[in-house]
Structure formats: structure tokens, C-alpha cells
Chains A and B, each alone.
Chain A
């Protein structure tokens, strides 16, 4: 279980949304761990890179009123059922994160993704069979992408589901079986620090563009596979940032509805706060939002993605 307070105290809103089942992909009854059921999935976000070309830490880059790391942690969290873990460099400062996200440190700084993978898998291995591993610098990552890649690893019963698109393999946008931890540790001990060495010794399923887009939800939400687009320098970041925010649908209920006939609203928003502002809803303790009819949240920085439907409701459901 992720570390959470075991008390409940309604009152002022806490930042952060609730944990829940994944937004896309399989039907599941994960917490009961029934044999034959879908695998428990976790998220690992590597935040410890040096950001040399960017010139400043990518984790804290502004993203529509949030930060890049907050967004990626939130997007990965939306598509996984278990914990989300951030792997940072020793002592690295991070922006504010959703409260349920955990932070672990690389054992040694600057040794690359395999070192981060080891730290991340260690943190989640007891709670999940599969982990989606992401870099921080993919601002257009869509939850449907995460769900599809994780689903592929499970369906194909492989150790790694590895997207291959735009002419590259994407080991930091891939699903890994957490039981690979021993292999990862061994490679680190041998100083064989490239992901390719790991792929040589396990079952890898490469997912090309055509296969990725076979998933209808992903094809609709991200037809150009921008989920894989890294921003490595200020120019790439500025161009990505200049794109329009995701197209979402907003519905307001009860006293929040302004007038009959104006629902739903089609608008662009990258966060819950932006959607609320655009819909004229004051996101205070008397209001909650339901995402796609399921997850309830009050986190202003909760990341929205293309195709989402946000319902704003009165927090008081007494009847």
C-alpha cells in the first residue's frame, strides 16, 4: 500500500486526487489480487537527469500552471493501479507533487537510466508486477499511451513492452516487469549501464507505430504519438508549450450549472484549475471534479489530457 494517513478528516481540500484503477485498458479487480486477474501496475518517473541542454532542471519547468514533473506523475498515475514513484538524484530539489506520489533516490548520481530503473523497480516491486517507466520530459504524454503499453506487456506475457517509433526505441516510455530487478542489479554490478543490455537477456515485445495506434483510444487521443516527444532544449520546450492545451469536455452540475442548454462545454485545459477557470467554476472546498465519470479529485494541478470529460459537482452529496 502506498503510505497514507489512516485517518479521514473532511475539511479544507488537500492537494491531490484519489488513487484509482487505471483510466484505460483492462477491466480489473486488482486490489483483491485474484488469480488470473489483471496485473497490478505501478509508475516510475525518472527525474534525475542532468538537463544539460535545457540549461535548467526539467522537473520544475512550468506547464500550464503546473510543472512538468507534476504533470507526468499525474498522467502516469491516472493509468496505473498501484504506486507512482519519482526517482531523483541524491538531494535533488523537486517541485510540489501529488501527495500520494513517493520519491526515492538514485543510489549514485549520473549513471543513467538503468540506475534509475533499479531504484524505481525496487520501490514498487512488492506492490506491482508491471511498471511503466517514464522520463520527465514528455509533456504530451497521454494516459491512453501508458495504459496501452502496460496492457501490451501483460497480454503478450513479456518482460518489456518497448515502443519503437519515430525511428527510435523508447526505453523511457516502456513497460517493465518488476521481476527484472535482479537482472538490472546484475547489469549495474557489471557496469553494463545501457538498457540495450537488459533487452538482450529478457523477453522484449517491440511496439511499432502501427501497433501502438491499433488501440482506438490512443489513436483518437494521440494520433501522432506525441506521447513520445521529448523536450530536450529551450526551443523544443517553448514549441511544445506553445501548443494549445488539450481539448476537453466540461459539464457542470447542480448550482454550478449556469443555464440550461449550455452544457456540456468544449474547451481547452491542461489542468483541473484551468478547466474550472474556463468554465467559471470556483474550485474551492465546496466543489469536486469527477474525471471521465470515475476518479474524484480536487487537485488544481490534476493533469487533463485530450478527450477527457470533467464533471464539476457540489462537494456536499447529502440527500
Chain B
């Protein structure tokens, strides 16, 4: 099964499937690449450097999309059953990786591959099936138009429960630029990867274990580490996720003016208590769920209208609630459930609709029916996006493209960076996060930059960004790069007292490497810079490391009556500091010393 000489936890190869004709090839993954990139997002970046044609249209057949696993997948380490979906984003035009969890990761890796890469395009709606016998393509016309969960259920019924399925919804089929790929109700949500599969007319990818695991270097040590990590995962660091889930953020953020409201025109929402976890949990909580191999169980499932259920996360509720001025819990839960069915990223959907609501109020678009606070109009906009009908055809492009099309100053308040809509963290009151949102390679995102942690730690002034904020943004970005490559769930991060050495101690017995915390720090920097290198190749310029004008020109009134402001000069100062600390030239290219230190030649096309 395993390629000769592959490190523990790896098969040492990726399977490349051309879905145009079903042909496959195997790409050997050298140990130097695996050690230098680990897996997940890091290995995905390497694969895109190698396999994506320069300047490729992400929706074109030639654009590759990879499901990438990691050395920890299949081990008993808690939260390790995760996979990265990686391709060039149709929303940003830049490198995109989005993570999801559960049995697809385990079964996908047990096909005997560390990554599954798909390129080409099918002549008709199809499904790709991969197992130990190879890859085959089946027509899937009867699945086209179904929600991903239903397509998944039907495929497993047809082929058997050993198959695990990642699928797209109707939005992916219609090339909505922020369509998701989902598995078992969880979404690789950001950046429009579902549209990439839609562009290939691929409704789903199904995987089945071929049986043989990738041997671990020291199984006893891995088991001991897993027991220890599991025990720690029950501690106070994860209490929030277990007891209330991420929605616990909503009321807290509201209290400290970091809850984006009405398209970032405010940072507190009077009606937030109606949507608070503390409130909804009592009234609507149905169940708590776990990903495969997880001992935290962060998923809180609530009753939604129409007998439906919705997995409720802070980001869903923020984006479809306060951001659109909507406070009715039924409507927010219905919208969240509908996003899941359509297969769209809730953050980009909510952000784009909120932007359109502001455009409508300002008379920039002809949609008098669309208003902040009007839940019915939000739901209508969502339907139109999923169908690409009416206004929805414009909104399916995301707020950046839509802003450019509408003009008249609408771009200034499009809530996006690099085309990716902002998550629920107000940059003017979280100024380390403001930098993180501005510079991250994926765009405005809270999973690749966790700088809000620094803002909310009490260790620096969240209202006055400066040098220390740049250091914090880099540190949290580096930590995310390793967690996303190992892959471990970020909700575990609070249990690691000294993260890089702790992570090295998990990776070493899996792989057999004498890896250290210092090496992982260098690996983190390599991965972060490698993503930027890919973006440079695709035409990225420094101007894209920036925030929308709204955040730099409009003061934000705080509950105390004072104002929070973030001037362009201050943001520029933080970005300059970030570049300097990252070893980047003024144009964003890595300096020669940085290239050498981080062995970036690893990414040169072979």
C-alpha cells in the first residue's frame, strides 16, 4: 500500500484523477515535501504550486481541486479526522483552502493516498468514486439539483454505507462563487470550492477505505499522546464549545462592540439578546453532535422552522442576523438551514446580502423590497442567489464583483478583502484582527488569522493598532498554519500551553521525524509565505492587502459614546511592520534571505 520510504502516517503519494476521461496518475510525494508542508493546507499549497496552471480560471476544466489529508488522519488523536479542500478560489482568484471534518477524511486517506486531486471536467453531471480499486465516474443526472445532504444520502444508499461522500448543493452547480463542499452536514465553506466542482459538473466525490492504514512510527507513543490530549480536551479550554457552542460569542461581542451589524455600520445590535446562545439554548436546543474522532462535540443543533434542524454557529447567526439587521430567530435559523441546503457559505451570503441591503437603501440598486431588518427579504435574496435569478445572479458573484458592477461608491462598503467577505469580527475595535484580515492570503478570514485572540487577551490595546499587533497577527497566523496542516481542530488550541513544541510531540511519534517546535515555527512561516507566493504568481499585488474604505474612513460609535477609528496611516504602519517581520519586500515578494531560510524552492514546479 505504502510508497517505499514514506514517513509514518503517510502513504507518500497523491492520486490525480482527470474527470474528463477518468484517467488517473499517481504523484509521488517526496519526504522533503511532506516534512516541509505536513499535510492539509500546507500540502495543498504545494500541490497547487505544482499542478495548477498559472493564471488558470478557477472554473475552467484545467483548474485542479484537491482533497488533502494529513499524517494525523486515522490516528486516535482527538479532532484529527479533518481534510482540506484546496484550489484557486473563484471568489478571490487566489489560493483557497477550506477545511471540513469527519469520516470522509478517514475513508479518503484510506484509499491509500495523502491527497486526491481532481482536474478536467465531466461532459454531464457526474459523481466520482474512489477506493482501493481506483477511480470511476458515474453519471448523476438524478442527483443534480438536490441539496448536498440528500445527494450524499442517496449515494450511500446506492453504493453502501462504507462510502463517504463530499458533495455540492444547487449553488455549486450554478457556480455561485461562494458555494461550499459539504460532508455529513459540515461545510468546507469559504472561497467557493463548491463552484469549482460545479464547473467540473461533479456533484459529489465518494471515497471508500481500501483497508490498509499508513503505519505509524511509534503506535504506542501515539496512543499515549492521544489519551493525554483527549483528557485535556475535556477541560475548561473547550467548555464554551461543549456547553453553548460558538454562538456564545454573540452576546459577548455585542457587549464589547465587536458584533458587525447592518453591513458593518454598527458593532452592537440592540436585539442581539433574541439571538443569543444563552437564550436559544434553553428554547430550541435539540442535540449536540461530534465530528468523527472528536471528543469536544461543539456542534449544537437547534430546531428551525418547518420541522427542520440547523447546526448553529456564531458565524451563521451573525451573518444572517445582525449583519442583515434581522433579529427573528426563526428567520435566522431558517436562513442558516437554507444556506446548508443550497450549499452556500453563510458568511459570504450574509455579507453580500447585507451589502445589497445598504445599496438598496442608498438607491444604488433597484430592489426596493430589500431592507435591513426585513427577514423575508433576506430569505428571498438567498433563494435568488441559490437559483441565480433576478438580483441573485449579481449577488452570486460576491460583494466585490457586485460592487464593481454597481459602482457609485458601492465598493467602498462591500465587506470583503480580496473578494472574501468578512467574518463576524469588527476590525475597528479589534485592530490586530484588522491587520490579520487585511494581509491573509485567503482574504478576510478568521480561521487563517486568529489575531482577535490577541485583541481580546487584555495584553494589548484592541482600539489602537501598532507594532505589537503586527507581532500578534503573525503569531496567530503561524499557529493557524500548523493546525490547518496537521490538521487539528482550532477549538483545541486552548489546551496547548506551549503550542509549537506540543505539536511537534504529537507529530514525531506519528512520522518518526525528530521534529521540534522550532522546526514547526519555520514550517508555519514557510506555509504562510508559500501561499503568498502562489498568489503573486496569479497576479496579486500589495494593494489587495487592505481593508474596505468603510473601516478606514468611518468612525464607529461605541456603547460608551466614544468612537473607534482605524486610520489608513495606522493600517499601513501595521502592514509595513508585518511585511518586515515576515521577511517580505515592499511589493510582498519574499526577500532572498527569507527564501533561503524557509527553503521556498521546495515549491518550485518540478
Binding site for B on A (CB under 8 A): 1, 4-14, 16-21, 23, 27-32, 34, 251, 253-255, 257, 260, 284, 286, 288-290, 292-299, 311, 313-319
Contact = CB atoms under 8 A, between A and B. Distances in A.
A29 B497 CA distance: 36
Nearest to B496: A11
Given A19-B464, A260-B279, A294 B256 contact: yes
Given A29-B567, A293-B256, A318-B490, A8 B497 contact: no
A46 B580 CA distance: 40
Contacts of B255: 251, 253, 290, 293, 311, 313
Interface string B485-504: 00000110110011000000
B472 interface: yes
A32 B279 contact: no
Interface in B549-574: 558-560, 562-563, 565, 567, 569-570
B203 interface: no
Given A293-B256, A319-B424, A288 B456 contact: yes
A18 B255 CA distance: 18
A255 B454 contact: no
Contacts of B446: 318-319
A23 B457 CA distance: 19
Residue of A28, A253, A260 ringed by the most chain B CB atoms within 10 A: A253
A-B pairs, 3 with minimum CB distance: A319-B314, A254-B248, A8-B472
Contacts of B257: 293-294
A311 B257 CA distance: 12
Interface of B: 236-237, 239-241, 243-244, 246-249, 251-253, 255-257, 277-279, 282, 313-315, 318, 423-424, 446, 450, 452-464, 466-468, 471-472, 475-476, 490-491, 493-494, 497-498, 558-560, 562-563, 565, 567, 569-570
A10 B458 CA distance: 10
The B interface, classified by DSSP as helix, strand, loop or mixed, is helix
A9 B248 contact: no
Given A20-B461, A317-B249, A4 B468 contact: yes
Residue of A4, A12, A284, A319 ringed by the most chain B CB atoms within 10 A: A319
B467 A6 contact: yes
B426 to A, nearest CB: 12
B454 A314 contact: no
Nearest to A20: B461
Nearest to B577: A6
B27 to A, nearest CB: 34
A254 B252 contact: yes
Contacts of A260: 278-279, 282
23 contacts: A4-B468, A8-B468, A8-B475, A9-B475, A11-B497, A12-B497, A14-B459, A20-B462, A20-B464, A27-B563, A32-B567, A254-B243, A254-B249, A293-B559, A294-B562, A295-B461, A311-B252, A313-B252, A314-B239, A315-B456, A316-B493, A319-B249, A319-B315
Given A254-B248, A290-B256, A18 B567 contact: no
B562 A21 contact: yes
Nearest to B460: A18
Contacts of B249: 254, 317, 319
A208 B567 CA distance: 38
Contacts of A6: 467-468, 471
Given A254-B251, A254-B277, A294-B562, A31 B464 contact: yes
